Amino acid sequence: MRRRLTLVLVLALGIGVAAGGAVAEPLDVAVGKALFDRVWVPSPASTRGSDGLGPLHSARSCAACHAGGGGSKTAAQSDGSLDPSELVVRLGTDAGPGDPVYGLQIQRMGTAQVAPEATVTVDLAPSPSPDLGPTIIGIRLDALAYGPLDARTRIEARRAPSLRGIGWLAQIPQATLEAMADPEDRNGDGVSGRLGNGRFGWKAMEPTVVTQTEAALVTDLGLSTPHRPSHAGDCTRGEAACMTAPHGNDGHAEGVEIPSDALRALVAYVAALPAPRSSADADGSALFAKTGCAACHVPALNSAGGRPVPAFTDLLLHDLGPGLAGGFPEGTASPSEWRTAPLWGLGVGVRRGDRFLHDARAATVDEAIRWHGGEAASARARYLALTPNEATRLLAYLEGL
């Protein structure tokens, strides 16, 4: 009988195990990193410790989308398009996420037995609201392998956010978020953050690092987990070849491709990723507060142990207006509601030429700010009213986070 996946990894790394075969706790991060970097292969395969990919999938490893624990590298290519491998195309209707045949997202990769769902082209298109930002994302799907999308289905592009510091975000007490939420805007400041289904992801859908990790494993890589045991990942009954294709569950502990001990190690690594370090000049913090940006991008929240977590987020959902509205609701989030994106690590993206916002439409931090509407409209107006010198100082501050 095939050994448990984590045991295979442990032996390959030359690491011992505790009684009962469980990975010794201090070694979970090392084993988790090996899993995070591992390039998975479809079943059946001779490398039986890393088979089970897909059959339909968007990536072959966690690191493919989160190199070093970071996020998508979304710099524009020479022809003005964006690399489709750095984004996923999410699907949904007025009823919520998903297409009856293509599932939650378009999977650009398949196996020898299962055809990829489609080819994806992502272009930068002129914005209909140039006062907000000059470009939007245009998505084209070709070679749809399983017929047309449902007539009600709409599509959105999504970047992979950075995972660095996610373990600290998990330690902020839920009571802190509940105290900040003001869905009825009782204080009349125009900001009415709401609790989402969780605190992670663009729409605050997942409550813990564990559930966020499992969602990514199943949806992006097609790897089954203890709480998401479907061997076919994001496949649907409309994709019969995918549903009946070989998978890696047989012989694995718990009948899934990522059993509990492997999941624990992977989560330990992700949760241990260090938080980004800031080089921001404190001179800009007053301007950050003056514009009202800090109402949602709260500079720091305390962990359960009292340690400040300077992530610049309140982890709540906010309505950012029609300009940034997506095509469908997710959980408790309406199409125009987004979780406040943490700003720590923003400078890393600036320095490597990334684009910003959930779909990479903004080429600069300035453009990202200009796209903010809804609850952020007053903050945007105050930003636009800054003197050129003040705006330069504020942007320098943000680009140092």
Furthest-apart CA atoms within the chain: distance in Å? 70
Between 338 and 188, name the one with better pLDDT: 338
Domain presence at residue 291: yes
Point out the least confidently predicted range of 58-67, 212-221, 273-282: 273-282
Domain presence at residue 237: no
Confidence at residue 252, expressed as pLDDT on a 0 to 100 scale: 66
Confidence at residue 251, expressed as pLDDT on a 0 to 100 scale: 60
Assess whether the previous peptide bond of 55 is cis (omega < 30° from 0). yes
pLDDT per position as a tens digit, 93-106: 999 999 999 999 99
Find tokens 């992670």 and name the residue: 200
Confidence at residue 17, expressed as pLDDT on a 0 to 100 scale: 29
Give the range with max mean pLDDT: 1-15, 148-162, 184-198: 148-162
Q: Which domain holds residue 201?
A: 166-205+275-398
Q: What is the CATH number of the domain that holds 189?
A: 1.10.760
Confidence at residue 279, expressed as pLDDT on a 0 to 100 scale: 81
The residue-averaged pLDDT of 229-233 equals 91
Residue 338 makes CB contacts below 8 A (sequence gap 6+) with 202, 203, 317, 318, 320, 324, 358
Domain presence at residue 265: no
Domain presence at residue 386: yes
Confidence at residue 25, expressed as pLDDT on a 0 to 100 scale: 63
Q: How far apart are CA 278 and CA 203, in angstroms?
A: 25
Q: Can you say whether the dihedral through the CA atoms of 223, 227, 229, 233 is positive or negative?
A: negative
Find residue 93's DSSP bridge partners. Answer: 96
Is residue 120 within 8 Å of 108, Cβ to Cβ? yes
Q: Can you say whether the dihedral through the CA atoms of 305, 310, 311, 315 is positive or negative?
A: positive
CA nearest 180: which of 317, 314, 44, 56? 314
pLDDT per position as a tens digit, 154-173: 999 999 999 999 999 999 99
Domain presence at residue 329: yes
Task: Please state the φ and ψ torsions of residue 87, each to the nearest 5 degrees.
Answer: -135, 160
Q: How many independent structural domains does the chain possess?
A: 1
Find tokens 């072959």 and name the residue: 60
Confidence at residue 111, expressed as pLDDT on a 0 to 100 scale: 93
Give whole-number Cα distances, 333 to 100, 202, 316, 320, 347, in Å.
21, 10, 10, 11, 28
Burial degree of 337 (CB within 10 A; 0-12, 13-18, 19+): buried
Domain presence at residue 181: yes
Confidence at residue 50, expressed as pLDDT on a 0 to 100 scale: 73
Q: pTM higher than 0.85 for the full model? A: yes
Domain presence at residue 394: yes
Domain presence at residue 158: no
